[in-house]
Amino acid sequence: MSSGLRAMMQPHPLFIDHARGSRMWDIDGNEYVDYVMGWGPLVAGHSHPRIISAVGEMLPRMQMIGMGHRLEYEAAEAVVAAIPGAEKLLWSNSGTEAVQVALRLARAASGRNTVVKFINSYHGWHDSVFASVAYHEGGEAATMNSLGQNPHAIDQLLVLPFNDIDAVGELLADAAARDIGAVLLDPVQSNSGLYAPVPGFLEKVRELCDEHGVILIFDQVIAGFRVAHGGATERYGVEPDLSVLGKAIAGGFAQAAVVGRAPIIDLVTQGVFHAGTYNGNPIALAAVQATMDLLNEPRTFEGLDSVASGLRTRLVDAFAESSRPFEVRRIGSLLAIDEQAGDRPPIWSDLTGELVNHGILALPSGKVFVSTEHTHADSDRFAEGIRAALRVVDAAAV
């Protein structure tokens, strides 16, 4: 498999032949309504004709050139215009890489090395941040989460509970003495259950970072262009120093970016090393430009919100007919299906396997991604699939 996480798909990983809109077809010809959406990037659905057209026009002109081109600037301007407070941009290839770029910039800007993140937050697979995600041993010391991880890579990583403003205030009060240079924060915990910040949390973190000379980084790899057009920055009205964007930015093509305050981004001209063979390549940036144009169209996010809201209502109703305790959370076009702890073994993983038999693709993690191509009819089909899958799984458990 290209990714170990894909091997988790139930009842087994599928092999896909083609995809369009909200649908995918496997190599046996079976059709599915897809709520995996490439694990997040496909905010405009599969094979959107305008994205495919833009990429198709670029393909015969140039692919990898190792030089500058107009889209480096034009696509950057479109992205920066969407994110409140963003002044400049650096291109990268993936969320994992872009997080590392942001951290390097933060260390240079602050003159300090230690990073604070939040328990359960995922910021990519790199050794320096892949810690206290799936499990945490307690306290503020980070816990490694993978075999083969360099234990020294997290020596300068501290972790705190999300939404605990007192803990943030206590730790950042000693920021200078403890060499804390950055707070790395997913504002909606998009990869760990989808939890909104409590009122005042982001504002207070912003205030504390300013007070103690700490760079605030929002990891919006998933939240960007999904919880609102301008991501969590727009939705909650708090501007970080840097934001990391990815996934939906290119509508299904590989590209990521770091946006933020010009004095920090400009450090790449003053000694901060930034590189990447595929950064800002013409093919990916053609997709970025087309995606930004699509998302800029009137009522795009109203439509996304309407379908996502309707889907949540339908799923809540479907789960309510079962004795199983499920919660469905939503922020923008992101949903999370959370099976609550009970006195019976969890069944969500089995449900995702059974949903395949009813033409629905869903992630074992419970994340649900809605695109502009999903409809209320798709939502009805998902809810009916949940009802049918629950009957099958519950019957097998007897």
Separation between Cα atoms, residue 294 and residue 288, nearest integer Å: 10
Q: Where are the alpha helices (DSSP H) in 238-299?
A: 262-265, 282-295
Check: CB of residue 135 under 8 Å from CB of residue 145: yes
219 is catalytic: yes
The answer to whether residue 135 is catalytic is no
Is-catalytic flag, 241? no
Q: What is the DSSP string of 111-160?
A: S--EEEEETT----S-TTT-BSSS---SSSB--B-STT--GGGGTTEEEE
Active-site option among 247, 350, 367, 378: 247
State the catalytic residue, choosing from 34, 186, 219, 350.
219
What Rg do the C-alpha atoms of the chain give, in angstroms?
21
**Residue reference for tokens 């705190």:** 160
Beta strands in the chain (DSSP E): 16-20, 23-26, 31-34, 88-92, 114-118, 157-160, 180-185, 215-220, 242-245, 256-260, 326-331, 334-339, 360-361, 367-369
The active-site residue, picked from 35, 122, 195, 236, is 122
Cis before 11? omega within 30: yes
Q: What share of the chain is helix, strand, coil (3-state, %, to 5)?
A: 40, 20, 40
As annotated, the active-site residues are 122, 219, 247
